[in-house]
Structure 1
């Protein structure tokens, strides 16, 4: 069966080259035919772009695929003396699966496990084997669940699935590199893209079948109940990991901080939120999946395991962490090799949370001060300007831009919310408040002794007619110096920016640029080059730098700076942006302009419509 699958994979790849040869032969024949009714040189000039795209793109794709090697996940090698019980478990399960054990076991930072084999002779002969185990699984699973995960991966070995990875990997690379080199407007790419879809459909179908086979191998070695439990648990842990990274790690990461012990934090979060995770475990997945997925829907996998033979052996509920000699030390060692913290300050979790949220609070306050500066016509605004404006009866004036749809009667009381943000910053900088870290819920803003600070009530009092002086007196009694809420950044930044699209060769005020769209604004890269390879040019540029770095070196127009946007046409884009500075920016796209991806223009229009 392995030989048949390898042969089928190679036949599909050979079909790609046959398609290329047919295209080239057809183009040559068409040149000969056209030369009978027009000058031969003219016929060659007409069809040369298609011919060149076909031959060059396929040749380039093959060359890059031959030279490429699958990159293993970054991780930590685990010799037997650092994980004796894990190695013993792998040997036992390999014997039950009747397959040889991997030569290497690596610890990774993923909520996953995987296997790799350096096969030879196009997958017909085996080679060196590696098993990758995610530390988050060992931290949080039971021994029974972990045995099922390991048995699943060893099942890929016993069924010789890993031997096919090399030819399949080469095939995907050849097709991907070829399509990258053929522009979206070149007819040569149409047939290639259709064949690529067919190739991927066949490849994905084979991958899904292999996963079901490995699930059954897991059921035979570790029991169907353990295998099903492991699949359910990975779904839960994957959601917990995403939540952990988004709510605890990312904010500090973007602010220049990193946790001193990343994996200990994840273990603490899973333990503290056990009830929430139990609720997630109680709900069966509702996933239909698509034919493009590499794995079958979880519901289908669980149904197959339900039909598998049951084992009488009880589930091993001991913590899987015991499979490592010292999981805490392993986590710290893994973080050093798998997590590139750059120049970020490494902080214990409570300090990281406090520092990251303080930085976020400062950014929120800075944005408020920038709006007030624009409203009052000042180059910059600070807390004294806010107090003076309220005292002078100008509360409505400074509040209106924050609530443009509210009436003049409504905006005054509504300004209590942004004012509370400024009072929080003043309390923080005065040393009377801090953020308190929690694994079971959001961090809380409280006094340094853990007491609640009535800043919301004081802000409401301050925007009440005649209540400003009483509010200032209450702040003074708490030890809050309003003047400490000073702005830090008077210009919009790209903090928290994510790339959402790009348009090549867009005229900005008559000069051609490549336009990159961030969630916070537009980056304009001048003098980009010819329009016939715009998509690849933008991708190549992003391969060497980040969109945020581009914003630092090129013109950046923050959405915050745009007062209004008038969109004349969406395709090709024709828009005029009016900035608060009084300047205008005209964006005009060519018909031949490329998008970074197929929805870039649509996302840009949506962002401009919501300015």
Structure 2
């Protein structure tokens, strides 16, 4: 079956989706007419209302989809005067691809490239064409690889793949809006879900075929070696991009810091991590795909490229950044447009790394200090108070909380690891040690001369009463002040927490609440007594708020503040929590409450862990 025919069928199915909605609306109208013809009173009203509600979700979704418009174009617009070499390359390649050049080129913060076209009259009248190029690609690709990517995207134009993009957009919005509004017991929704799955099968088959066709243009215009090289490099760049955000940005971002040059940092990382990137390039491309994927497997695409007739092309392995000489400046401008720093403190990279790691150290230490304060009966604690517990032979009591599978003696010995972190914090706070940023390896703790420091041996001495004085003397000799490491966040918060579950309509101390399960505690959000749409209500709440915001605005009970947990009943869950301050929290789930995934099992597991910890 040709791609054009597949596309026509896909569009016909989109039209059929709307027709299906109208048919269902007509059926409901006929049923309501029949009900009132043969019935009357409250019974007829209730049945009519059930039908209206059932089809109402479908109609609402379709109405929103009809009014939907593609979002405004994103990214940094590059005028021809700003990027003459890039524009010249794109225009020359458009001629070679046999298509009209794009009207706009935009930089986007993604490891990707794409095209769009604003068309009218079901694609019969062309409109503004836009080419989107990912900043990470320009930073890491060669000119040949970038030419291949651009040629592929131009191939979507020459193959008329973008002509129906606006129609396809509305169709996908229609399905998403409609299917997201129908409940699992809505019979009308069942019909739409089945139709939606069938449409996706057809639509995705079309897009996979279109990718092969665009690859053919890429090989013809840029050459097979460039095309294959680009295909193999894309997953490498993508892995590096994810590593960069996961290991260099996210931990500081979550606690209120941001680097001053987000895109420039990625370029530095890619240049420094040559060995790791070389290892990634040795991996075989993915050869697995499914009928639900929009793109063919990379291995299949490469095989198809190599099977095409070879077209000679002169090699150009210069960096693609030469196409945009002011790339660093463009990265800063793109950052101003697409990165929302909010209230975060923006710092140069070296300072960002140091400040972020100190904050991470402090957060981990605060968790220990709060527990020590409870055990000593004081308002605040620090490393000095931890040493008091060690001297009194009570470190095992504290350590058992963090090593629940060990007895107190074993836990005290294992506590040498966190003790080392506490001593490192004291060294940093004393101005003796510093975090050194590096692009080629993880950040390291160094002394004033830049030499790495290691407090492991001191930590081993500090966990035993009989060697504690030796540890104190060693610390004093190094200029590390024990009192410098003390609690900052005396009350546990939820910054950086993740949502691990949710239970709608739980009676908390006899008040109706939705319970949000975080990996650090429970958030209790006042809820209506009506148990309908609990899952949807929580979904909207979580999509609009991060965990820290929820914990700030609503009642938050950290797990560390729970002394004991007693499960009175597993299903529906009924439990009593006793906090360290002596207060009590009761949880009573209702039989009629929605059940979101395995949230009940998750909560039960958490409460059991708390109980096990308390009995040690």
Structure 1 position 9 matched with structure 2 position 10:
yes
Deviation at 1:133, TM superposition (A): 0.5
Q: Which moved more, 1:410-419 or 1:270-279?
A: 410-419
Question: Residue by residue, what CA displacement relative to the aligned partner does 1:479-527 show, whole Å, maximum 9, x if unpaired?
Answer: 1000010110111111212234433222223322122233322221113
Distance 1:426 1:304, change over 3 A: same
Q: Which residue of 2 aligns with 1:95?
A: 95
- Is contact 1:574-1:587 (8 Å) kept? yes
Deviation at 1:281, TM superposition (A): 0.8
Measured in 2, the distance between the counterparts of 1:609 and 1:216 equals 59
Q: Which residue of 2 aligns with 1:534?
A: 534
Q: How does 1:111-510 map to 2 (within 5 A)?
A: 111-510=111-510
Question: Residue by residue, what CA displacement relative to the aligned partner does 1:420-455 show, whole Å, maximum 9, x if unpaired?
Answer: 121111101100001111111111112122223342
Measured in 2, the distance between the counterparts of 1:599 and 1:71 equals 36
Measured in 1, the distance between the counterparts of 2:606 and 2:305 equals 46
- Is contact 2:435-2:446 (8 Å) kept? yes
- Is contact 2:149-2:230 (8 Å) kept? yes
Measured in 1, the distance between the counterparts of 2:597 and 2:589 equals 15
Q: Which residue of 1 aligns with 2:51?
A: 50
Deviation at 1:412, TM superposition (A): 2.9
Deviation at 1:60, TM superposition (A): 1.9
Measured in 2, the distance between the counterparts of 1:131 and 1:211 equals 16
- Is contact 1:373-1:381 (8 Å) kept? yes
Measured in 1, the distance between the counterparts of 2:600 and 2:295 equals 32
Question: Partner of 1:335: helix, strand, or coil?
Answer: helix
Question: Partner of 2:164: helix, strand, or coil?
Answer: helix
Question: Residue by residue, what CA displacement relative to the aligned partner does 1:86-131 show, whole Å, maximum 9, x if unpaired?
Answer: 1111111111110000100011111111111101112232210011
- Is contact 1:524-1:555 (8 Å) kept? yes
Deviation at 1:360, TM superposition (A): 0.5
Structure 2 unaligned residues grouped into runs of 5+: 611-616
Deviation at 1:537, TM superposition (A): 2.6
Distance 1:120 1:290, change over 3 A: same
Structure 1 position 83 matched with structure 2 position 102:
no
Q: Which moved more, 1:288-297 or 1:35-44?
A: 35-44
Q: Which moved more, 1:214-223 or 1:355-364?
A: 214-223
Q: Which moved more, 1:503-512 or 1:31-40?
A: 31-40
Deviation at 1:37, TM superposition (A): 7.9
Distance 1:328 1:92, change over 3 A: same
Q: Which residue of 1 aligns with 2:614?
A: none
Question: Partner of 1:123: helix, strand, or coil?
Answer: coil
Deviation at 1:565, TM superposition (A): 4.8
- Is contact 1:24-1:51 (8 Å) kept? no
Question: Residue by residue, what CA displacement relative to the aligned partner does 1:223-253 show, whole Å, maximum 9, x if unpaired?
Answer: 1221121111111111100110011111121
Measured in 2, the distance between the counterparts of 1:58 and 1:395 equals 61
What is the alpha-carbon root mean square deviation over aligned residues? 2.5
Measured in 1, the distance between the counterparts of 2:293 and 2:603 equals 29
Number of positions where the alignment pairs a residue of Structure 1 with one of Structure 2? 609
Question: Partner of 1:255: helix, strand, or coil?
Answer: coil
Q: Which moved more, 1:187-196 or 1:33-42?
A: 33-42
- Is contact 1:507-1:587 (8 Å) kept? yes
Measured in 1, the distance between the counterparts of 2:12 and 2:600 equals 38
Measured in 2, the distance between the counterparts of 1:73 and 1:145 equals 25
Question: Partner of 2:502: helix, strand, or coil?
Answer: strand
Distance 1:360 1:193, change over 3 A: same
Question: Partner of 1:505: helix, strand, or coil?
Answer: strand
Measured in 2, the distance between the counterparts of 1:211 and 1:564 equals 58
Measured in 2, the distance between the counterparts of 1:400 and 1:518 equals 22
Deviation at 1:325, TM superposition (A): 2.5
Measured in 1, the distance between the counterparts of 2:8 and 2:600 equals 42
Question: Partner of 1:79: helix, strand, or coil?
Answer: coil
Deviation at 1:530, TM superposition (A): 3.0
Question: Residue by residue, what CA displacement relative to the aligned partner does 1:292-339 show, whole Å, maximum 9, x if unpaired?
Answer: 222122222222222222233243210000000311111111111111
Distance 1:83 1:605, change over 3 A: farther
Question: Partner of 2:309: helix, strand, or coil?
Answer: coil
Q: Which moved more, 1:475-484 or 1:572-581?
A: 572-581
Question: Partner of 1:514: helix, strand, or coil?
Answer: strand
Measured in 1, the distance between the counterparts of 2:374 and 2:389 equals 14
Please report the TM-score for the alignment, with normalisation by the length of structure 2: 0.92
Question: Partner of 2:545: helix, strand, or coil?
Answer: coil
Measured in 1, the distance between the counterparts of 2:535 and 2:393 equals 54
Measured in 2, the distance between the counterparts of 1:258 and 1:179 equals 38
Measured in 2, the distance between the counterparts of 1:523 and 1:398 equals 26
